[in-house]
Amino acid sequence: MNKRVLVTGIIALFSPLMAIAALQMTDDNGSPVGDNQNSQTAGPNGPTVLQDGHLIQKLQRFDRERIPERVVHARGTGAFGEFVADKDISALTVAKVFTPGSKTPVFLRFSTVIHPKGSPEELRDPHGFAIKFYTAEGNWDLLGLSEPVFFIRDAMKFPDMIHSLKPSPVTNIQDPNRYYDFFSHQPESTHMLTRVFSFHGIPSSYRKMDGFGVHAFKFVNQKGEVTYVKFHFKSRQGIEGYNAQQATEAQGKDFNNLTHDLYENIGAGKYPVWDLYIQTMKPDQLNNYRYNPLDDTKEWVGLPETKVGTLTLNKVPENFFESTEQVALDPSNLVPGIAPSEDRMLQGRLFSYADTHMYRLGANYQSIPINRPRVVVRNYNQDGAGHQGATKGEVNYQPSAAENSLVEDPAYQAPRTPLNGTLQQEIIAKTDNYEQAGLFYRSLTDAQRKDLIFALGSDLAKVKSADIRLKMLSHFYKADENYGEALAKMTHDDFSQVKKMAEMLKD
């Protein structure tokens, strides 16, 4: 027997890892690689030659390993799982994902909003809770947060808000002087700021935080009737978060602790579970509240919740880049029976998210395996970088008399929506900026309120401008007088000035 064959057989027999490593290496075109250690050169001391295709390809691919970082939600962790529907809500929606007993594969990406890739997971921030449902009628993406509300109510303000929260364009350091300057002009942010500076702002585990759709959406039933809906994923693991000191200690031990906690529990078979609850509201109920129910800075306080299904995460991705980094979650990915509401923030996101994915990943980003629907995609979108569609034949337009040309089905038309009024650019009529912030503050325990005052007050104290501090304090005072007074003591500001400014604020 050939000695080389014998040695290879022994290695394969006694070392499975070495046997796997012995698989033939190839270039991207499938051509076998003969030497991955030495470049082709013109003689022993000559320069490297341009014809070394393996070297050129290896360097080219290395130079292009990074795609543009997400502007928001850059720091993320994902996992696969399934959603099981358990209640008949066919009277509300025709969406098949809610057919009782149906199981829908999902991918859930947790994230922070502001901080960059590689940043500690224990930094204070809203946390993303974004789910891609691979349904029988295409992908439905629900992009939510760990909180039920957002900072602002109009997408017009979103780029400015993010600019203020991101590092300074001069120092490249996040600066409270900048973001409080912005938020002092946004009274609707009082509610979300209160939540983020509470223990909610730094979850101790991704398994131990709730997920909210934040926006109102529309359910559409077989008759074309519309019902407004909000989504809430309740963690069966409970809700836990760090105070400022605990977060610092955790970060010092392991700044990837949320990812480790999630993956280790899934790996051990301790699958995290969330129950999905919905709140619903008929169109004729929208004017029954002192706030606008389509304002994403508001909760639907007092409306009952109905459990409609359960979400379980049960698989860790095999490759971070191919899944968590390339997943493209987009609120305009909707399915029959689910439609967007008139929420002004949501309306802007319907465009912005799809556009940013096209910028990051290319026009064919929905053909990437993690984004690819589990159903057949048929349309005449064509070409572009990374196109892998199976388009055939002369007809790439619609309508057409050609055999096998694509047709549409009127059953899936957008629901008819009554409209009134004139084209305008005005703030919503019912703002109610402070009441729910006060309700949340008073719902906290004494210890939780103490932690909130310390965290928020310490941050506000860094602001150099007394005018900005006083304006922010007046917002918190409008939410709750004790809240504003306690913060003013932390920042050493004149409380009488805070009350005076608060009297001039509108609700």
Identify the CA nearest to 273 among candidates 238, 323, 318, 324: 238
Structure tokens at 384: 């572009």
CA angle 465, 466, 471 (to 5 degrees): 105
Residue 460 is predicted with a pLDDT of: 98
* Both structure tokens of 254: 């392991």
Q: What is the mean pLDDT of residues 436-462?
A: 98
Q: Is a pLDDT exceeding 90 seen at residue 171?
A: yes
The chain-wide mean pLDDT, for the chain, equals: 93
Other beta carbons within 10 Å of 112:
24
Q: Give Cα 139 distance to the centre of its chain.
A: 16
**HSE-up of 9 (CA within 13 Å, CB side)?**
6
Q: Quick one: average pLDDT of 18-42?
A: 84
* DSSP output for 142-162: EEEESSS--S-S-GGGHHHHH
Q: The tokens 């070392």 sit on which residue?
A: 15
Distance CA 300, CA 294 (A): 10
Taking 70 as the threshold, does the pLDDT of residue 8 lie above it? no
Q: What percentage of the chain reaches a pLDDT higher than 70?
A: 96
- Say what the pLDDT of residue 421 is: 86
What are the tens digits of pLDDT across the range 231-242? 999 999 999 999
Helices (DSSP H) in 2-75: which residue ranges?
A: 3-14, 16-21, 53-63
- Greater confidence (408 vs 75) lies with 75
Average of pLDDT values for 45-69?
91
For residue range 119-149, list pLDDT tens digits in order: 999 999 999 999 999 999 999 999 999 999 9
Residue range 468-486: average pLDDT? 98
Residue among 369, 392, 389 at smallest CA distance from 381: 389
Residue 404's pLDDT is: 85
Give dist(CA 263, CA 315) in Å, integer.
8
Q: To 5 degrees, how large is the angle CA 173–CA 174–CA 178?
A: 120
The one-letter code for the residue type at 217 is F
Q: Under 8 Å CB-to-CB from 134, ≥6 apart: which residues?
A: 104, 105, 106, 107, 373, 374
Q: Return the amino acid letter for 130.
A: A
* C-alpha pair distances (Å), 109 with each of 29, 77, 259, 316, 392: 32, 6, 11, 11, 35
pLDDT > 50? residue 7: no
| Mean pLDDT in residue range 59-84 | 94
- Cβ atoms of 111 and 146 within 8 Å: the answer is no
Where residue 11 falls among pLDDT bands split at 50, 70, 90? very low
Per-residue confidence (pLDDT) for residue 4, from 0 to 100: 45
Average pLDDT on 25-53 reads: 91
Q: What percent of the chain has pLDDT over 90?
A: 83
Nearest residue to 499 via CA among 193, 478, 195: 478
In whole angstroms, give the CA distance from residue 455 to residue 198: 8
Residues 458-476 have a mean pLDDT of 98
Quote the CA–CA distance of 378 and 390 in Å, as a whole number.
9
Helix (H) or strand (E) holding 274: strand 273-281
pLDDT at 474: 98
**pLDDT number for residue 500:** 95
pLDDT computed for residue 13 by the predictor? 43
Contacts of 147 (CB under 8 A, 6+ apart): 126, 192, 195, 196, 200, 212, 214
Q: What is the pLDDT of residue 72?
A: 96
Summarised one tens digit per residue, pLDDT across range 292-309 is: 999 999 999 999 999 999
Q: By C-alpha distance, which of 238, 235, 241, 236 is closest to 121?
A: 241
Quote the pLDDT of residue 16. 47
Q: What is the pLDDT of residues 16-26, one digit of tens each?
A: 444 444 799 99
158-165 vs 176-183: helix crossing angle, rounded to 10: 150
Query: Do 235 and 272 meet the contact criterion of CB atoms below 8 Å apart?
Result: yes
Q: What token pair was written down for 382?
A: 């064509």
Interval 336-394: pLDDT, tens: 999 999 999 999 999 999 999 999 999 999 999 999 999 999 888 888 888 877 778 88
Give yes or no for residue 6 having a pLDDT over 70. Answer: no
Residue 45 Cα to chain centre, angstroms:
54
Domains in the chain (CATH in brackets) are 3-36+52-63 (no CATH), 76-367 (2.40.180.10), 435-503 (no CATH)
Characterize the bridge pairing of strands 273-281 and 226-235.
Answer: antiparallel
pLDDT at position 284 over 90: yes
| Per-residue pLDDT band at 403 (split at 50, 70, 90) | confident
Farthest CA pair distance, the chain: 97
What phi, psi does 143 have (nearest 5°)?
Answer: -100, 105
Sign of CA dihedral 300, 301, 302, 306: positive
Give me the mean pLDDT over the 99-124 stretch: 96
For the stretch 147-157, pLDDT in tens is 999 999 999 99
Residue 60 has a pLDDT of 87
Enter the tokens of residue 430.
């019912």
Question: Predicted confidence band at 203 (pLDDT cuts at 50, 70, 90)?
Answer: very high
Between 221 and 4, the higher pLDDT residue: 221
